[in-house]
Amino acid sequence: MLHKNLIAGEWVAGDISLNINPSNTNDIVGEFSRASADDVRTAIAAAKSALPVWSQSPILARHAILKKTGDEILARKEELGSLLAREEGKTLTEAIGEVTRAGQIFDFFAGEVLRLSGEALPSVRPGVGIDITREPAGVVGVITPWNFPIAIPAWKIAPALAYGNTVVLKPADLVPGCAWSLVEILHRAGTPAGVVNLVMGRGSVVGQAMLDSPDINALTFTGSAATGKRVALASIEHNRKFQLEMGGKNPFVVLDDADLDVAVEAAANSSFFSTGQRCTASSRLIVTEGIHDRFVAALSKRLEGLVVDDALMSGTHIGPVVDQSQLKQDIDYIDIGRNEGARLAFGGNRLERAAPGFYLEPALFTEATNQMRIAREEIFGPVAAVIRVKDYDEALAVANDTSFGLSSGIATTSLKYATHFKRNAEAGMVMVNLPTAGVDFHVPFGGRKGSSFGPREQGRYAAEFYTSVKTAYTFA
């Protein structure tokens, strides 16, 4: 079956791209059509044409479509989870969890449609009333990454539709399957023609055509910092709203008073689960002297017990890296760490399994410093570096010494230090005795500094990006 683009309510074919399973490169997940620049322009025109009716559609109609979509995603979570694991490489358990989250997001925003509200305020002028309302931003361009192929499209599309916008979605060329399935569900749920458009393909073609369009009113992007800068510059050129979620170099601090088991489990999850391919993953483990050696020994032992294998296989803890290019980047950084003088305390080896795939043993460095490239640059793989510090004050300073600011974590039993860290960590999200990766669907998501730009994603805070505020005065 050829999976086509959805443009103006019609399925449109294009050049064929093969979706490859990183656990078994002999397995073709599916054939997917790549859109042309002209296809993108047609999709944007369709979204613009559909906007006037959809933006004023009855709230029960929008609620029903989002609710039906969420219900079907949840009903098919095992099937869609298997698809996700095949195309992206995260374990089946993690994949089903991500699909569940996508369904919950649609369910949440189905409820938000019924809670749309404004304000009525008195004016300082007698006899004048003021209404403050929110209106849709317009045509929303959505560009999503490969590491969360259904959750991130969901948390962008669901609020966009809930608040009355129309959508043009470009998923990552590497993992089009889950995005296609999501759009197909939305299509069958009754989304009118042109309200949701899917244009799959390369960023250099599809993404560029979106950036160049003056008819996209708002653009939400998750991906690399370099591409995010291009999105920002193009959006400024067209005076459009833009929202960027980019990289992270997230710290996880372990203090002397930490519960060792809690600290090790949180660090292992933060750094290595989902093959370390999360923008919220922690690749800097900042550990105070009193617990350092015990922590390294316990974490190394935990890593010895982790199974790296086919994402669909029962008992697998860590799946493959997503593709050959990412695998090479990870291995290059392991070599960089060695050459910088860090000690490779565990792993870092290329692995062979029953089927050909992109398997990498988790890599743990010790004796790293915060000035090393492995501590400054986002690796986006199962590679972490332990940085030894003398006390909490130094740990906090090192944690904040980064150009990124997405997520930050600490393991401690001290209420004093936990409270101080929550207040002073320079990150959009802070975790205490929890992995830096792993967030709820109903609360704000986003970071500071080089990690994010624009309003937060998810939860009720999503309205800040997907709507514009209108103030109306009436003299009666």
Kindly list the catalytic residues: 245, 279
- The burial class, CB within 10 Å (0-12 / 13-18 / 19+), for 367 is middle
Helix axes of 392-400 and 415-424: crossing angle, nearest 10 degrees: 20
3-state class (DSSP) for residue 112: helix
Instruction: Decide if 158 contacts 109 (C-beta within 8 A).
Output: yes
Strands, sheet with 5-7, edge to edge from the N-terminal-most edge strand:
10-12, 5-7, 196-198, 166-170, 139-143, 218-222, 241-245, 452-453
Q: What is the DSSP letter of 207?
A: I
Handedness of CA 438, 444, 450, 451 (dihedral sign): positive
Instruction: Decide if 476 contacts 129 (C-beta within 8 A).
Output: yes
Read off φ and ψ for residue 102, nearest 5 degrees. Answer: -60, -45
Nearest-angstrom CA–CA distance, 58 and 406: 37
**DSSP result, 50-84:** HHHHHHT--HHHHHHHHHHHHHHHHHTHHHHHHHH
**DSSP result, 244-280:** EE----EEEEE-TTS-HHHHHHHHHHHHHGGGG--TT
